[in-house]
Amino acid sequence: MNTRIYLEMIEESSRFIRKQTSLKPQMGIILGSGLSKATPELSQRREISYQDIPGFPKTHVAGHLGKLVFGEYRGRPIVLMQGRLHYYEGHDLSEVAFPLRVLKTLGVDSLIITAAVGALHTKLKPGQIVVIKDHLNLMGQNPLRGLISPEFGTMFPDLSNAYDPQMTKTALSICRKLKIRAQTGVYVAVSGPSYETPAEIRAFRKLGGDVVGMSVVPEVIAAAQMKIKTAALTWVSNMGSGLKGALLSHEEVLSLGEKVSGSIGKVLGELIAVH
């Protein structure tokens, strides 16, 4: 996409949103598959549909409502993305990163990403939380490609601490305090939308991966370029193909997401309060 046109679209979306709410969010939260009920109780709540925002890409996946929700939680202004954009929907990764660039212009400087993931080994179980500490980008694309402008940050961002170490440590500590089973792990990003083969699962495990999914990484890369502190809170929705107990359907993901929303919501609430 042409950089100038892209910048104009960001400004158009941002201008529209500012007219809908006076709230200036400091933290953004992306809610993944089936987690619409993990939304913290907000005061001064204001919802804006992606469909209504000029220039804003639209999501078409079940379990992703397609709304920006603004409000205050414990006095802190935040914005939630109820639904994300995916590469497998046909969006270019620059479109996947677009909402984050809009949120940055609105004032967001920290981010919590949530997502459903598949387990790459049997030590992980469905419903368990994995706080991401690093990733392998096997999507074959990068959201920074072709967009050269100082407004975005350096073209070559350092991803050594793309997952903010302090936020990651705090998220894990909160899970332990709440007696929610959790550990850190490495996220393997694939393009989707088909689930992985047993051979791919074995290969990802040998490469050092713990979980696999079709999102998160493009958002994290764009956030790192813009120096947005980021934590990624994922939950195991299924065992990877070829592993005992594997259930590979989007309906199963959404169903389990409903069940873990309460736990995820509690962790989100605590993490928002301290970051």
Distance CA 32, CA 211 (A): 15
Q: Of residues 13, 14, 94, 215, which has the active-site annotation? A: 215
Please name the helix (run of DSSP H) or strand (run of DSSP E) that holds residue 268, with its range, or none.
Answer: helix 250-274
For residue 215, indicate whether it is catalytic.
Answer: yes
Q: Of residues 13, 14, 36, 64, which has the active-site annotation? A: 64
31 strand-pairing partners: 82
Q: Of residues 50, 73, 86, 226, which has the active-site annotation? A: 86
Closest CA to 245 of 236, 255, 235, 254: 236
For residue 223, indicate whether it is catalytic.
Answer: no
Distance CA 165, CA 67 (A): 29
Query: By the 8 A CB rule, do 215 and 161 touch?
Result: no
Q: Of residues 214, 222, 226, 239, which has the active-site annotation? A: 214
Q: Of residues 116, 119, 171, 231, which has the active-site annotation? A: 116
Burial of 144 (0-12, 13-18, 19+ CB in 10 A): buried
Q: Of residues 110, 238, 261, 263, which has the active-site annotation? A: 238
Q: What is the dihedral of CA 187, 165, 127, 238, to 10 degrees?
A: 0
Q: What would you report as the CA-atom Rg of the chain, rounded to the nearest whole angstrom?
A: 17
Query: By the 8 A CB rule, do 241 and 47 touch?
Result: no
Record the tokens describing residue 11, joined without a space.
């400004």
Q: Of residues 27, 89, 119, 222, which has the active-site annotation? A: 89
For residue 214, indicate whether it is catalytic.
Answer: yes
For residue 33, indicate whether it is catalytic.
Answer: yes
For residue 116, indicate whether it is catalytic.
Answer: yes
Distance CA 70, CA 28 (A): 9
Q: Of residues 250, 252, 255, 258, which has the active-site annotation? A: 250
For residue 238, indicate whether it is catalytic.
Answer: yes
Cα 213 from chain centre: 11
Encoded amino acid at 252, one letter: E
Q: Of residues 13, 33, 261, 263, which has the active-site annotation? A: 33
Distance CA 194, CA 127 (A): 21
For residue 86, indicate whether it is catalytic.
Answer: yes
Instruction: Tell me the catalytic residues.
Output: 33, 64, 86, 88-89, 116, 214-215, 238, 250
